[in-house]
């Protein structure tokens, strides 16, 4: 055996023992003796890859391919480096080369599928995973990849079956356990999602918290069920993980977890750094647009039966077509709902980009010479931050869909008001703040309310007694707030708490928690979902006082209550999401319904429940002022938005850097 062969063999053994620096030293010596050995260059690349020296590993594979152009291993491993570097299109070409040289290469097909998923080409990814499984039907990772692609395509039941197959092959497969839980959440089966995550924590308690955001998903799954086991323990662990810079929770879940703008910024920044580290792409590099009209593109996954469309429909319709060209960019296929149809018809142009990649969508906006791209989704369901990371427009704006910072250097502005983001908190938002003069949240003043109010009996309410109401999503109900609600029920004889119905698990769970706090379970009444929004709004008239939640306020739900004439009591929080109801109440002229602490909130609720005259006075003021207040003046809010867009555009035309500014109330 020659010296170079002996060194190569010893390096291979050292790699198996994870003694990588020693293996690299032997491979360097072997290459000096045999610089024309592709095999040594490949193993040197493998060692460098494991050491995290990716660019050097890439150079090693390139050398190997120059020596042996038909090496499937070199092409495959080169693809793995490129995948790790986030250069997905190049990785795909390398995997294609590897498969061309070795068609029955199951790992090549699997990793090709991974690259295609990163490129947002899930249908092609699915075909690659299927090909890998046709070659090796027991390939665990390919089953998991297949499940991931099916999840991307929204085929959740099939995805669940594929995750289950993965777990049959390996019951401890962490990725399958974590992503199976995400599918179950999408299928509205949070209790089962929680069970899958609990299994994940049993398998690997050290890795699990930050594995695919498992700790945050576990708390979210339990909150959806109103299952508050270990609530404080999990909450403390999430806070500690975020403070330590670990990926323990997704930003949209964290804003519903902790009422801290500073911590939310830290959480979102880690999320961006892990997914869109694109500093080189952040500045606008295209040509400077000059149009007769400002071109605004609203980008959303929610041009359908969704709160964003319910709030924004009137704004889209009210835009001044003499000064603005308005385009809708839909991240999901359109639906046939009345609001979805109305929104589509409000746009001058409407484009469904569901099947476009992020790069293709960004290119479409650039080719359309869009001046201002407004992200109405943020990090909520269906988001595609990659479009904005690729600089789809010279001015990019975060608005409405996500009540917090996106912590991304490619987002220029966040539209808010001085209640949701006080001047002192600007440091916790990476975007420049555009302050609207009244309330940042739009409302559609065309929303109908059914003329007929249902009877209490028809709505399952007792004929007499005070009705506290909170139709918020159940994940917004946290134990400290529920404790306060139960103390109110104990203090107000004959009172009930009227909540939204969300299945037997939630109903039984909340009633069980009420009983544990000394409240008869039947004093919690659950309102079924109504198909028609006007009928839903009409039943608000039966309630006496809407009780808001913290750390995540009612947003659209609070607007619904106020529009229907029901006073809303809120507690001002420490972040955007916890101050929205305070903003609404300020704009509608009822600041006395804003408490500054949970104790203050509870005391005000009790006083109002025991003071019918005071409560009636508030209801009368709301009824009189509802149609004259800025909160429900759609045209006024649209003028303020347009003034904001004009100011952004003029600053950009002058070459000014984005800076925070206030829109004048006279705009």
Structure confidence by residue, pLDDT tens digits, 501-514:
988 899 999 999 99
Q: Confirm whether 546 is domain-assigned.
A: yes
Say which CATH number the domain at 238 has. Answer: 1.25.40.10
Render pLDDT for 40-99 as a digit per residue (tens, 0 to 9): 888 888 888 888 889 988 898 888 888 989 999 999 999 999 999 989 999 999 999 999
Say which CATH number the domain at 569 has. Answer: 3.40.50.2000
Say which CATH number the domain at 384 has. Answer: 3.40.50.11380
Q: Confirm whether 157 is domain-assigned.
A: no
Structure tokens at 228: 């508050």
Do 581 and 610 have their domain in common? Answer: yes
Do 271 and 371 have their domain in common? Answer: no
- In degrees, rounded to 5, the angle at the alpha carbon of residue 403 between the alpha carbons of residues 398 and 406 is 50
Q: Confirm whether 521 is domain-assigned.
A: yes
Do 506 and 628 have their domain in common? Answer: yes
Output the pTM of the full model. Answer: 0.91
Q: For the chain, how many residues are written?
A: 667
Can you tell me the distance from the alpha carbon of 644 to that of 649, in angstroms, rounded to the nearest whole number? 9
Q: Confirm whether 450 is domain-assigned.
A: no
Contacts of 166 (CB under 8 A, 6+ apart): 140, 143, 144, 147, 173, 176
Q: Is the pLDDT of residue 282 over 60?
A: no
Do 213 and 290 have their domain in common? Answer: no
Do 370 and 299 have their domain in common? Answer: yes
Do 286 and 273 have their domain in common? Answer: no
Do 621 and 512 have their domain in common? Answer: yes
Per-residue confidence (pLDDT) for residue 290, from 0 to 100: 77
**Average model confidence (pLDDT) for the chain?**
94
Q: In whole angstroms, how far apart are CA 52 and each of 45, 246, 308, 371, 429?
A: 10, 20, 43, 40, 33
Q: Pick from 145, 124, 88: which is nearest to 276 by CA?
A: 88
Do 517 and 541 have their domain in common? Answer: yes
Q: Which domain holds residue 246?
A: 182-278
Q: Confirm whether 7 is domain-assigned.
A: no
Structure tokens at 169: 């092959």
Do 496 and 373 have their domain in common? Answer: no
**Pairing status of strand 594-595 against strand 467-470:** unpaired
Q: Confirm whether 568 is domain-assigned.
A: yes
Contact yes or no for 227/191 (Cβ under 8 A): yes
- Domains of the chain: total: 3
**Backbone φ, ψ for residue 143 (5° rounding):** -65, -40
Do 247 and 360 have their domain in common? Answer: no
Render pLDDT for 387-412 as a digit per residue (tens, 0 to 9): 999 999 999 999 999 999 999 999 99
Do 530 and 591 have their domain in common? Answer: yes
Can you tell me the distance from the alpha carbon of 225 to that of 480, in angstroms, rounded to the nearest whole number? 16
Contact yes or no for 435/660 (Cβ under 8 A): yes
- Residues 261-276, mean pLDDT to the nearest whole number: 94
Q: Confirm whether 605 is domain-assigned.
A: yes
Structure tokens at 12: 């291979």
Q: Please give the share of the chain, as a percent, with pLDDT higher than 90.
A: 81
Among the candidates 257, 278, 299, a domain finishes at 278
Do 302 and 402 have their domain in common? Answer: yes
User: Is 229 strand, coil or helix?
Assistant: coil
Q: Confirm whether 452 is domain-assigned.
A: no
């Amino acid at each position: 055996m020659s010296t170079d062969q002996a060194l190569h063999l010893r390096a291979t053994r050292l790699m198996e023992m994870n003694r990588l620096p020693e293996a690299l030293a032997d491979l360097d010596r072997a290459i000096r003796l045999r610089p024309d050995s592709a095999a040594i260059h490949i193993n040197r690349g493998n060692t460098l890859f494991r050491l995290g020296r990716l660019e050097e590993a890439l150079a090693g594979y390139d050398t190997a391919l120059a020596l042996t152009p038909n090496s499937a291993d070199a092409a495959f491993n080169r693809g793995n480096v490129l995948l790790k570097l986030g250069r997905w299109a190049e990785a795909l070409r390398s995997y294609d080369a590897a498969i061309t040289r070795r068609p029955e290469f199951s790992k090549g097909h699997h990793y090709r599928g991974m690259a295609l998923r990163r490129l947002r080409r899930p249908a092609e990814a699915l075909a690659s995973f299927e090909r890998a499984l046709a070659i090796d039907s027991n390939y665990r990772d390919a089953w998991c990849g297949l499940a991931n692609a099916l999840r991307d395509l929204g085929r959740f039941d099939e995805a669940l079956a594929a995750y289950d197959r993965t777990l049959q092959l390996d019951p401890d497969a962490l990725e399958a356990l974590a992503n199976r839980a995400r599918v179950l959440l999408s299928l509205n089966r949070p209790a089962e999602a929680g069970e899958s995550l609990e299994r994940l924590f049993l398998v690997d308690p050290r890795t699990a918290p930050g594995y695919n955001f498992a700790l945050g998903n576990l708390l979210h799954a339990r909150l959806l069920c109103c299952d508050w086991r270990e609530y404080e323990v999990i909450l403390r662990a999430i806070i500690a993980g975020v403070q330590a810079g670990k990926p323990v929770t997704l930003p949209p879940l964290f804003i519903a977890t902790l009422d801290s703008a500073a911590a939310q910024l830290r959480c979102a920044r880690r999320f961006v750094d892990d997914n869109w580290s694109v500093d080189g792409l952040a500045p606008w590099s295209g040509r400077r647009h000059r149009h007769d009209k400002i071109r605004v593109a609203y980008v959303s996954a929610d041009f359908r039966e969704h709160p964003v469309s319910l709030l924004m429909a009137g704004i889209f319709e009210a835009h001044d077509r003499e000064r603005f060209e308005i385009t809708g960019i839909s991240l999901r296929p359109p639906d046939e709902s009345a609001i979805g149809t109305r929104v589509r018809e409000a746009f001058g142009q409407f484009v469904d980009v569901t099947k476009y990649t992020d790069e293709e969508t960004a290119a479409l906006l650039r080719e359309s010479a869009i001046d201002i791209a407004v992200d109405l989704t943020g990090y909520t369901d269906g988001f595609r931050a990659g479009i904005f990371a690729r600089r789809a427009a010279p001015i990019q704006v975060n608005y409405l869909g996500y009540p917090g910072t996106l912590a991304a250097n490619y987002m220029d502005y966040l539209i808010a008001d001085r209640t949701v983001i006080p001047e002192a908190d600007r440091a916790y938002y990476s975007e420049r703040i555009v302050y609207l003069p009244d309330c940042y949240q739009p409302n559609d003043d065309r929303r109908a309310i059914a003329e007929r109010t249902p009877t209490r009996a028809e709505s399952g309410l007792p004929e007499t007694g005070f009705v506290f109401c909170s139709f918020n999503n159940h994940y917004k109900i946290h134990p400290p707030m529920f404790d306060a609600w139960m103390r109110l029920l104990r203090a107000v004889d004959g009172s009930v708490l009227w909540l939204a119905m969300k299945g037997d698990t939630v109903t039984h769970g909340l009633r069980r928690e009420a009983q544990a706090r000394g409240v008869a379970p039947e004093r919690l009444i659950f309102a079924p979902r109504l198909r028609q929004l006007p009928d839903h709004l009409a039943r608000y008239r039966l309630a006496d006082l809407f009780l808001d939640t913290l750390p995540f306020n009612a947003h659209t739900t609070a607007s619904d209550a106020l529009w229907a004439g029901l006073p809303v009591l809120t507690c001002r929080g420490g972040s955007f999401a916890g101050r929205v109801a305070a903003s609404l109440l300020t704009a509608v002229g009822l600041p006395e319904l804003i408490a500054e602490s949970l104790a203050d909130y509870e005391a005000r609720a009790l006083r109002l429940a025991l003071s019918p005259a005071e409560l009636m006075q508030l209801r009368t003021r709301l009824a009189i002022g509802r149609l004259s207040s800025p909160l429900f003046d759609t045209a006024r809010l649209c003028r303020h938005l347009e003034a904001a867009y004009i100011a952004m555009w003029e600053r950009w035309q002058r070459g000014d850097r984005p800076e925070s500014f206030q829109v004048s109330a006279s705009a």
